[in-house]
């Protein structure tokens, strides 16, 4: 057992950062008595709502978990790279939301006519429309994609690489088509991805 803990000792940082992030996120979600920057734009009016996009939105959770499991087992360097990518952006986003509170007012009224609308209603009930910029869903999808595509094992499987790219794009699209995020949140996630990627590349040689 001691050898097992020693072999996967790098996972402790994942557990610690997960706890710190979730605690910070919960505090910000409950901090509602303050002025908010509304991120809605005219472009969002042209993006249709589609409850079926709840599928890639939910797959995101498995995508991130499976990505970390893969790196934990096969590539410690990839695990450290992914941790840097994800936690740097996620904590930067929380700091930004604390300094610049933001929200969106695009959610739709649902009649819960099918299981997909029920799932979206549940999503709305457990996740508020605040702290949306930049989109963590999009940011993590992009950076997990980047980190996986840097893996030699993954790169050797062309179809898997294509699947990862398509899945990541679908997850980003789901955030705006479910009206969980606005297009500005996606642009913010892309911008932050570029910045963190460049820092990792030139500062830490990731």
Average confidence (pLDDT) over 123-144: 96
How many other CB atoms are found less than 10 A from the CB of residue 158?
Answer: 9
Measuring CA to CA, which residue among 96, 203, 97, 85 is closest to residue 148? 85
Q: What percent of the chain has a predicted confidence (pLDDT) above 90?
A: 86
Name the most confidently modeled range: 4-13, 27-36, 59-68. 59-68
Tens digits of per-residue pLDDT, 90-131? 999 999 999 999 999 999 999 999 999 999 999 999 999 999
Tens digits of per-residue pLDDT, 181-206? 999 999 999 999 999 999 999 988 88
Q: How confident is the model at residue 8 (pLDDT cuts 50, 70, 90)?
A: low
CA dist 84 and 50 (Å) reads 33
Residue 80 is predicted with a pLDDT of 94
Residues 6+ apart with CB under 8 A from 71: 78, 79, 82, 147, 151
Read off the tokens for 56: 């890639």
Measuring CA to CA, which residue among 39, 70, 42 is closest to residue 135? 39
């Amino acid at each position: 057992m001691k050898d097992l803990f020693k072999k996967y000792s790098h996972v402790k940082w994942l557990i610690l950062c997960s706890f710190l992030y979730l605690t910070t996120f919960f505090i910000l979600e409950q901090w509602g008595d303050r002025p908010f920057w509304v991120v809605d734009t005219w472009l969002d009016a042209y993006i249709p709502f589609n409850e079926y996009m709840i599928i890639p939105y939910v797959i995101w959770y498995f995508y991130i978990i499976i990505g970390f499991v893969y790196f934990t087992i096969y590539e410690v360097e990839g695990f450290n790279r992914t941790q840097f990518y994800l936690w740097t952006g996620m904590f930067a986003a929380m700091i930004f939301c604390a300094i610049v509170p933001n929200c969106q007012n695009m959610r739709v009224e649902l009649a819960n006519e099918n299981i997909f609308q029920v799932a979206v209603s549940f999503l709305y009930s457990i996740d508020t429309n605040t702290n949306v910029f930049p989109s963590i869903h999009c940011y993590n999808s992009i950076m997990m994609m980047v980190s996986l595509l840097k893996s030699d094992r993954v790169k050797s499987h062309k179809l898997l690489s294509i699947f990862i790219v398509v899945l990541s794009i679908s997850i980003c699209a789901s955030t705006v088509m479910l009206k969980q995020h606005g297009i500005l949140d996606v642009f913010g996630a892309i911008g932050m991805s570029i910045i963190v990627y460049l820092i990792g590349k030139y500062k830490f040689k990731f």
